[in-house]
Every structure is written in structure tokens, then in C-alpha cells.
Chain A
Amino acid sequence: MRKFAMAVTTALVMAGAGQVLAQGTVKIGAIYPLSGNAASAGQSSKAAIEMAVDIVNQDLLDLGDLAMAKGAGLTNMKGAKVEVVFADNQGTPAAGQSQALRLITEEKVAAIVGAYQSGITLTASAVAERYGIPFLTPESVATNLTERGFKWFFRATPITSDLAAAYIDFLKERRAAGKKIDSIAIVNENTEYGSSIAESLRKAFGANGFNVTMEIPYSANTSDVQPQVLQLKDKNPDLVIFVTYTSDAILYAKAMRSLNYRPTMMLADNAGFNDPAFVEQVGNLVEGVINRSAFAPGNPGTIPHRINEMFKAKTGRDLDDPSARAMMGMLVMCDAINRAGGTEPAKIQAALKATDLKVNQILTGYRGVKFDEKGQNILAFTLITQMHDGKYVPVWPAGQASAPVKDYVGWR
């Protein structure tokens, strides 16, 4: 026991040694799933946040009006540099909470961003609330997060109802263009992400005269998806919507090909079908799939394209939607700290509340960033994209589209 206590002390001292702050550095914590089933997404978000820090710390002139791009470091704080401290939530709410506590009390971070999975954002932000440290989630969508009466919690991402509204508007246009959408099937994985998106979609479709005729929930990380595909093939609905993680998305794409099933119109909600690994390796099996994304690289010469090139140079893969939202979330946080002019939590909190980023200052497809009294970004929005020749391009809304919508092709 005593030996153990000594070992722990040694570990503490060692952990403490790395903490000496460089002069003029602001530490921000970032909690992501860096191991476990969601690690692939977490690692990509980590790279995106590192790039956001580069954007802040370097004086980049070719990124237009993007928040924090001009000027090196936090310009209102004598060019202080931002340092990000990553922590692994290991995919469990308890670990997320432990790490939030460590970031606040040991690393003395000024603010935290994270934590990908909604359940972990929930527990980690509860710690930040207790300690009065601003917590911003760039990507967790569960509705209850902003319903807790928290004062230190902010959310930059669109939530499920925003996404459903975007789909509805898009599908209404398709209908007006003469496409038949009388029957809709929703295939969703059955954890928090899939089931809450499916529920939002079901409600929104019902309220807007769209008929959800089939719902196929299934367990994530399944070993086989053929029966689900056969159910779809049997009923052949006009529109099929997939809400899945990467592993299952790969299996669906392969199963649809091997069972020779091409839906008339196919829509995939983000996550799995948006994973760069999916796009790169099986994207050619789902040509014409419609997706949503807050980010689309666009044409050469545009700022999103430039950012995607920077990300590609760093990681070797394209910037995907959740990672783009993570990057944006980090920039929003840095912008607030810069305007706060210091690291006192209350000042950062006030600056976050006063955030008013315009469309030209952000890299994601939001209409801006502005928080309501619950901490939700009321200007959050998403683009609709489509797989064209193995790459997603924005096809809606018209102002941001770079190609017209086409019919589903599948594989060639």
C-alpha cells in the first residue's frame, strides 16, 4: 500500500512536470474518443483541431475572413499562442468525466471542447459546469444537452431537428421537381446517434406530409446486414435513408451490390457514409447517394478547398463533416477567448454569449454562429451533398451548390 502510494506520487510528479506554462500560452482542453470503436472519428477530429490551432497561431492570409486566420496567435492578447491538450474519453462516460476533471484541475485549461459521443459530452460538461469552465461541443447532437439549464455549456453544431428541417426542404424541392417520394424507409443503428436521428426524422416527415412506411432499426457493429437489405428490396420504397456508423456503412454498400439492390433514391445521414475511409474505399459502390455535411471542399480557389488541401497535406485524407465541425468549434472557442482578452472563465463565458460570426467567417456551412440563452447555435445549418464520381459535392442549397442533383446510380 505504502509502496503503491509512493508510485502514485511519483506518477503525479512526473505528470506535473510537463505543466509549466510557456509565457503567453492559453491552454484549451479537447476530449475525444481516441481509442475504442469511435477512435477512427476521434483521431480525425484531433487532427482537425490541431489544424484549427495552427490557423489561430499562424498568420494565414489566404483564408479570407475565416475567424482567427489573420494575425498570429490571439491578437487581443499580445499574440498569445493557443495550446491544445488532448484527452482520450475511451468511449465511456466515466472516463470522459475523469478527463474533464483532470484537464480543469491539473492542466488548468481555460476552456474545453468535445466530446463527440453525446453521453460523454453530457457527463464531461457536468464537471465543467461545476467548476465554472466554458465547455463547447462542436458535434454532439442529443437534444437534452442544452435542456439542462447549464450556464457554461455551448453547442455550435446543428441538432437533429435542424438536420431534419434541411432534409425536408431539400426533399420538398425534389418532389416539386417531379420525383415520387411516397414511401420512405429509415434504416438506423440503434445506439443514441441512430435512434435520435431516426426519431427526429420520423416526427419531421410526419408533420410535413412525407410518409415513413418502414423503419428498420438494427444493432451497430453487426456482423451481417443482408436481411435488412432484402427487406428493402422486398418493399422497394421510393426513398431509403441510412443512419449508420462506418463499419455498418461498409457492409451495407457491399451487401447492396452483392444482392443487386439499387434504391430509387438513397440518402445517408452523415457518420458512416461520410467517413473518408468509406468514401475512399467503397464510395464507388454508392454513386449518387445523398448525404448531409456541414463541410464541402468546393472548387479550387475557394477557402474550403484550400482548407481541405491543408488538411490533406497534414493527414493524407479529406476533411470530413464531424472533423470540420470540430475544427469550427475550436475556432469559435478561440475567437471567444480572443475577444475576452484573457482567460478568466467569466470573461470567456461572456464572450461566447456575445459570439456573432458571419457566414464568411466560418468554414462549415452554417449561416453563422450565435448562441441563444441555452447555449445552442441558432444559425447552425447543414449542406446537402451527393456522391459524384467517388467524391461528395454540395448540391443544396442552391447558393452553395457546385453541381446539380442527379439520380442514384450505385455501382457501375
Chain B
Amino acid sequence: MSPILLQVIVGGLLLGAVYALFSSGLTLIWGMMNVVNFAHGDFVMLAMYVAFWTWAIIGGGPLLFTPLAAFALAVLGVVVYFGVVKPVMGGPMLAQMLGTFGLALFLRYSAFWAFTANFRTLPEDMIPGSFVVGGVRFEAAKVVAGIVALLLTIGLHLLLTKTRLGSRMLAVSEDRQAAMLMGIRPDRMQAIAWALAAGATGVAGALIATFFYVSPTVGETLAVIAFVVVSLGGFGSVPGALVAGLLIGVIESLSAFWIGAVYKDVLVYALFLVVLWVRPQGLFGKL
């Protein structure tokens, strides 16, 4: 295999890890509560701004702004749960889409209003450099993002499957009534789920900001692909999102390299439709 091709594949894997990182919060919410969060991309955008401003105002690096963004977003998640999601959960599925769409516009343009439409970037040396292994270059910032994506996925998966908290949260998502009868407080569980999901999204946004640009509409750029990642993996399946993210990253990179960058998304969407045709519940989802 030529070094260039190897580089393309490595680039695809790292990109895929970023997609997975970006999508983990979305799949958690979607799977646990059957809520489509149209504002997910804008959550990531806000986390990126937290990172940017932390650096711009007090000169903090990733070690400071990543936890800060996670915390800020977790708080936002809880606020959004009680302020927006809980009231609309009783309504039809469309009401949730309506609510989160309104929220998306509101957040996006509040950022626009507060920070202007200017593009911003963190300096190159935030997570500096790149290293070469076997003729293939690894960009440090993306490697860090990839490792964190992996850890986050494993962590969330273990939390859901191995801990008491996780099984309570799952119980609520399976059957709210039954869970209540067993003494679980559904509101608290779901608020925790939102805090977790939004916190994970905060980590994702902060790390993506180290190698991407920041602007009020940046969430849109990544959001559509995140929705595809989540449904390809199967709603609610955290490992599914990781596998789907990596798969899509590699396919995008290879098809951009071989067929042409214009058609890379065509291939991804086509593949997604084919997978749904064969497996209507996504790769790792339950029907």
C-alpha cells in the first residue's frame, strides 16, 4: 500500500473518530428519550466558543477549557431538559422537533448576536505538532480527539450497561411507568442523561475547536453527518456510533481521494440508505 493511500485511510479514521466524538451525545439522547435534538450541532458550537473564549480571555489551554466546556454544556443540558424537552415530551413527536428546531435557531443566532459572524480559530499550538509513524503523519490534535472519543464511548457504554445509574436510566427509557413503580424518579434520571449527553458534547466541541474553525453556523456543517452516524449505528447505541463514525470517516476519505470530493457525501448517503434497506434498525440498533 502506498504511503499516500495509508495516509488517506489514517486521515479517514481520525476524521471518523471526530464524527463519533461529535455524535455520542446525540445518540444517547436519541436512544434514551426518543428525542431528536435538532440543536445538537449548536450545542457543539457553543462548546467551541467556550473553548475559544477561555483561550482568548484568560489564555487557558485544552486542559482547562475542555472540562469547562463539559461543565457549561452539562448545565445547559439540564436547563434545556427542564425548560424545553420535558414540556414537549408529552406532545407528539413533531412537537419535539419543533421545540429543538426553535432552540437551534435561538442558540445559533444568540451566538451570532453576541460574538458576530466572524470566523475564529484557536492558535495552531494548542495541541501542537504532528508525528510520523511509518511514513504516515498523525496530527496530534486529532489523535487526542480520537483517543478521547474512544474513552468517552467506552465510558458511556460501561456506565449504561454496568452501573446502577445506567440500568436505572435504561429502565426509564424502556418504560417510564414501570420505572416509577420501582421507585426510580424519571425526571431525575432523564435530567442526568441530558447532563451526561450535553457534557460529552461539550468535550467534543472543545477538542474539535483545537483543529477546526469556530463560527455561529459551524454546528450546521457537522450536524447532518452526525445524524447519519447516529442512525447508521442504531439509535441509542454508543458503540454503534463509534463504528459508524469510523466507517463513514474512512469511506469519505477514500471516496474523496479516488472518486472526487464532490461525491464523497453521495457515497455516504447511498451507503446509509442501503444499510437501512438491509437492516432497518441500523448496524447496532434494536427494533
Contacts and interface: CB of A to CB of B under 8 A. Distances in A.
Given A233-B4, A258-B137, A224 B252 contact: yes
Contact of B8 (A217, A227, A277): A227
A257 B261 contact: no
A228 B253 CA distance: 9
Contact of B7 (A42, A222, A230, A251): A230
Interface stretch (B111-119, B157-165, B171-179): B111-119
**SS class, residues of chain A in contact with chain B:** helix
B256 A218 contact: yes
B281 interface: no
Interface residues of A, number: 39
Interface in B1-23: 4, 7-8, 11, 15, 18
Interface in A74-103: none
A110 interface: no
A190 B124 CA distance: 28
A222 B222 CA distance: 8
B76 interface: no
Interface in B253-272: 253-254, 256-257, 260-262, 264-265
Interface residues of B, number: 39
B167 interface: no
Contacts of A216: 260-261
A47 to B, nearest CB: 11
Contact of A277 (B11, B118, B253): B118
Contacts of A282: 121, 124
A226 B215 contact: no
A223 B225 contact: yes
A226 B253 contact: yes
A247 to B, nearest CB: 6
A259 B216 CA distance: 28
Contacts of A221: 220-221
Contact of A219 (B117, B118, B217, B262): B262
B261 A219 contact: yes
Interface string A240-254: 000000110011001
A39 B115 CA distance: 12
Given A223-B15, A226-B253, A250 B261 contact: no
* Complex A-B, nearest 10 residue pairs according to Cβ-Cβ distance, in ascending order: A218-B261, A227-B256, A39-B117, A40-B117, A227-B257, A226-B11, A277-B119, A258-B139, A250-B213, A281-B121
Interface of A: 35-37, 39-40, 42-43, 190, 216-219, 221-228, 230-231, 233-234, 246-247, 250-251, 254, 257-260, 275, 277-278, 281-282, 285
Interface of B: 4, 7-8, 11, 15, 18, 109, 112, 116-121, 124, 130, 137, 139, 211-213, 215-218, 220-222, 225, 252-254, 256-257, 260-262, 264-265
28 contacts: A35-B109, A39-B117, A40-B118, A40-B119, A217-B262, A223-B18, A224-B252, A224-B256, A225-B261, A226-B8, A226-B11, A226-B15, A227-B252, A227-B256, A227-B257, A228-B256, A231-B257, A247-B213, A250-B213, A251-B212, A251-B213, A254-B121, A254-B211, A258-B139, A260-B130, A277-B119, A278-B119, A281-B120
